[in-house]
Amino acid sequence: MYNSFPSWSTLGVRINGVDQSPLQFTANGSQSFTVTLGSAGTMRMVEIVAGLQSTAGGSTVTGSFVDSVTYPSASTFTVSSPVISNRIVVYGDSIAVGDDAANPEAQAYVPLLRNLYGQSVMLEGWGYRALYDDTHTAGLLAAFVSRLASYNPSTIYLAIGTNDYGLNKWSAGSFGTAYAGLLDGIHVASPSTRIICQTPLVRNPESANSFGNTLTDYRTQIATVCNTRSSYATLVDGTTFLTLSDMGDGSLHPSVAGFAKYASDIIMSLL
């Protein structure tokens, strides 16, 4: 992870709801960090937040993760249980994990939904992810649906598809068939879950890929699939959220300001 994305190999720290300077890895492998909490005899709520994860175009998901926490023997340490009620599960790719934000663990739209808008959000995503990776066989689809349902979500927010187009994973028609299978599978496994289907954000270029399909073709597939399942799925037009001027790289990934704008757009879709 450090070799491919050194500036994003970090762990976020929040103390009593305030973002601190991120913990920056300086090489691959295990490292230890110290978080200073202040004087003894005071209570602190500490959150450690994983940074960006990515396959970096390969098959193994890498990233920055916590494997242990130690504290002084004279202190009391309690791990809070996760909030499951009204949980939103976001299924996404490098945009969802905050690629191109200065500090993805704090500035991507998922942490912004948590910290600015008080949402209980869980991210199922990493860089380079595509719907193809999770659904191109019946076994993969069944396993993925089971995993999503195990999170006990009240809402699943699908923000997937731009890599199916941009990385030439499969045609728009095959993508649409798999997208329909995913929605049907989720609804059977978790019938009370609301599904929000966001079409991909604008990007440059959007011309025909190796299958002869434009990004608009993939958006059309999402719209068709979602609209025919309107009793439990809601379509959101991602092209209305941001413009290319909101992209930090000018083509695909939002800037810090773009992520803030994106989070405000998503919260309106969730209300």
CATH number of domain containing 213: 3.40.50.1110
Claim to verify: residue 43 and residue 162 sit in the same structural domain:
no
The answer to whether position 255 is within a domain reads: yes
16, 144: one domain: no
Same-domain status, 112 and 36 = no
pLDDT of residue 1: 81
pLDDT of the residue at 83? 77
Q: State whether residue 149 is helix, strand or coil.
A: helix
pLDDT in the model for residue 154: 97
> Do 174 and 218 fall into the same domain?
yes
CB 93 within 8 A of CB 160: yes
Question: Is the residue at 68 inside a domain?
Answer: no
Find out whether 104 and 50 touch, Cβ atoms under 8 Å: no
Domain match, 14 and 117 both: no
- Give dist(CA 201, CA 178) in Å, integer: 20
Q: Which domain holds residue 94?
A: 88-270
Question: 144 and 41: one domain?
Answer: no
- 74 assigned to some structural domain: no
Residue 75 included in any domain: no
3 state DSSP class of 243: coil
Looking at the structure, do residues 49 and 111 belong to the same domain, yes or no?
no
CA distances from 46 to 28, 32, 73, 97 (A): 25, 17, 17, 21
How far apart CA 176 and CA 226 sit, in angstroms, is 10
pLDDT at 201: 98
Question: Do residues 206 and 161 share a domain?
Answer: yes
* Single residue among 48, 63, 78 that ends a domain in this structure: 63
121 and 213 inside one domain: yes
90 phi/psi in degrees, rounded to 5 = -100, 125
Residue found by looking up tokens 């909030």 in the block: 83
Domain-located, residue 244: yes
- Does residue 73 fall inside a structural domain? no
- Residue 217: inside a domain, yes or no? yes
The pLDDT value given to residue 72: 82
In contact, 256 and 107? CB cutoff 8 Å: yes
**Spatial contact of 119 and 188, defined as CB atoms under 8 Å apart:** no
Q: What is the pLDDT of residue 141?
A: 98
Flag residues of the chain having pLDDT under 50. none
Tell me what pLDDT residue 79 has.
Answer: 84
Please check whether residue 69 lies inside any domain of the structure: no
Strand order in the sheet with 121-125: 121-125, 88-92, 155-158, 194-198, 233-236
CA-CA distance, 215 to 202, in Å (whole number)?
9
The number of folded domains in the chain is: 2
C-beta separation of 132 from 161 below 8 A: no
Q: What is the pTM of this model?
A: 0.95
C-alpha 189/C-alpha 237 separation (Å) is 26
Task: Find tokens 């990515």 and name the residue.
Answer: 54
Instruction: Examine the domain organization and report whether 20 and 124 are in the same domain.
Output: no
Residues 235, 134 share a domain: yes
Residues 152 and 218 in one domain: yes
